[in-house]
Copies of this chain bind each other. A is one copy, B any other.
Amino acid sequence: MSLLVVGSVALDSIFTPFGETADALGGSAVYFSVAGSLLHPVQVVGVVGDDYPVHELDALTDRGIDWSGVERARGESFRWKGKYSYDLQSRETLETRLGVFAHFQPKIPAAFRAAEYVFLGNIDPELQLGVLGQVQRPRLVVCDTMNYWIQGKKAALLELLARVDVLMVNDSEARELSGDWNIHRAGRWILDRGPSRVVIKQGEYGALLIERARTFYVPAFPLEIVYDPTGAGDAFAGGFMAYLARTGSLAEDNIRRAMVYGAAMGSYAVEQFGIRAFDRISLADVEARVRAFQDLTHVQLAEAVP
């Protein structure tokens, strides 16, 4: 079951109350694939400039990440610089330099077109639609988006929604897209636009899986130390998709399990700066954390109230 991600490959400079990084590997496709590759090989499509430290990507190939779909364009790589508030609850973008990303036109290599699991990272919805025109017959298409596209490319985004299986966004995006502050009504509004499922990420609280008849909630892992929230959502997506690709089942129960694997990856992402947390995580670690997630909400009810 091949798994494809299309998204940004960036260089992040991040300031948090606990430290900073400069020009560190980042971007949605990088977080997605570093997390996802713990469970399943990942094919990446993106673009970098001629200043990108490609050897750092190459060093990750052994994890099962195929970077052959990452185009090397002439010019500067996508750079993002951001600063988090003291409580990590909000962040300010200090600088965005799109560089070669401004003209990114995803070209899916022939070897990737049969991908069965496709994640469309947060890029222009017109480009996301373009990707769907290049892949053959995916079993599952999940997409992300952001307020910038909701405001500026709503028609294309709605066209995209009619063609994807799952929209995965954070709560402010779901609210802005639907125009409804109630997150459950917002989810229903999105379901009415096409996707059969909506995943709504709620940061330190957890994530919701909203389906027509049922809702599932996975809390965030209780962490006393959080260093850097960057990339948590993409790591979540990587864990979610890679678990599904690994297990090959889209049954409702398996989608719930995938939510827990996603939440586990999101929890690792925030424990260190950038992608570093994934350096030393093994599959056994992931398994242990997934079991800890289960304990977090475990309650055994009596047959009837005593």
Contacts and interface: CB of A to CB of B under 8 A. Distances in A.
A276 interface: no
Interface in A211-235: 214-219, 222-226
Interface in A120-142: none
A264 to B, nearest CB: 11
Contact of A305 (B226, B283, B294): B283
Interface string A199-221: 00010111010100011111100
A295 interface: yes
Contact of A206 (B205, B300, B305): B205
A294 B299 contact: yes
Q: In which size bucket is the chain A interface?
A: 35 or more
Contacts of A206: 205, 217, 219
Q: How many copies does the complex hold?
A: 2
Interface stretch (A47-55, A103-111, A153-161, A179-187): A179-187
A291 B301 contact: yes
Nearest to A219: B217
17 contacts: A182-B226, A184-B223, A188-B224, A205-B205, A206-B219, A215-B296, A217-B296, A218-B297, A219-B297, A246-B305, A246-B306, A247-B306, A253-B300, A257-B302, A287-B304, A290-B301, A294-B299
Given A89-B181, A184-B224, 8 more contacts: A86-B181, A183-B204, A184-B223, A205-B205, A208-B222, A216-B297, A219-B219, A287-B304
Interface of A: 39, 86-87, 89, 181-185, 188, 202, 204-206, 208, 210, 214-219, 222-226, 243, 246-247, 253, 256-257, 259-260, 283, 286-287, 290-291, 294-302, 304-306
